[in-house]
Amino acid sequence: MKSRKIVITGGPSTGKSTVIEELKNRNFTCFDEVSRDIIKAAQQDGIEQLYLTDPYLFSQKLIEGRIKQFKEADQLNEPIIFFDRGIPDVNAYLKYSKQDIPPEFETATRRHPYDRIVFIMPPWDEIFTNDAERYESFNQAQLIHNKLVNYYKELGYYLIFVPFGPVHKRVDYIIDSLKKHN
């Protein structure tokens, strides 16, 4: 059985990780966002924001981590596997930062296709917060959101925007949408 690899993405602080946790509580297999671990490791090495200091090194580490998750998912025998962000997010963030996308990043994106459906968590001012790993403003989150939407569309994914609401309703919406788009 080939698993459906479903990406849940969106700008910073849109509820992605909370939705992933609820999906785990409902016994779905999920892969967590890898960027926080990369950021924390860099901070332990004295680099406050690796993405701002060296966007390509940060992006390379993200690509490697997400490819590793993708390959681990290939080894699982699950009908649906959820990812907190996908490989294309790396390139969308580089576009947001007005950085060139290395050809090997484009190649990695195309060699590791997810299910055609991608769930987008739109910017939500009511829940938006900053923390040690999340430095972006709400306005920046909206700009990142737009880059993500445009890039996933460019790659041919079918985007489903998850409405605001309590986490259980958001997860219900995702599960119901997957049933409709089988």
Range 84-102 average pLDDT: 92
Domain count, the chain: 1
Range 11-16 average pLDDT: 81
* pLDDT value, residue 36: 74
Instruction: Please report, for the domain that includes residue 154, its CATH number.
Output: 3.40.50.300
For residue 146, the 8-state DSSP code is H
State the residue range of the domain holding 120. Answer: 4-180
Contact between 122 and 162 under an 8 Å Cβ cutoff? The reply is: yes
Q: In Å, how far are 51, 135, 148, 158, 165 from 141, measured between CA atoms?
A: 15, 10, 10, 21, 19
Q: What percentage of the chain has pLDDT greater than the value 70? A: 85
- CA 88 to chain centroid, in Å, comes to 8
pLDDT band at 115 (very low <50, low <70, confident <90, very high): very high
pTM exceeds 0.75: yes
pLDDT band at 21 (very low <50, low <70, confident <90, very high): very high
d(CA 124, CA 156): 25
Q: Which residue has the higher pLDDT, 129 or 81?
A: 81
Contact between 33 and 16 under an 8 Å Cβ cutoff? The reply is: yes
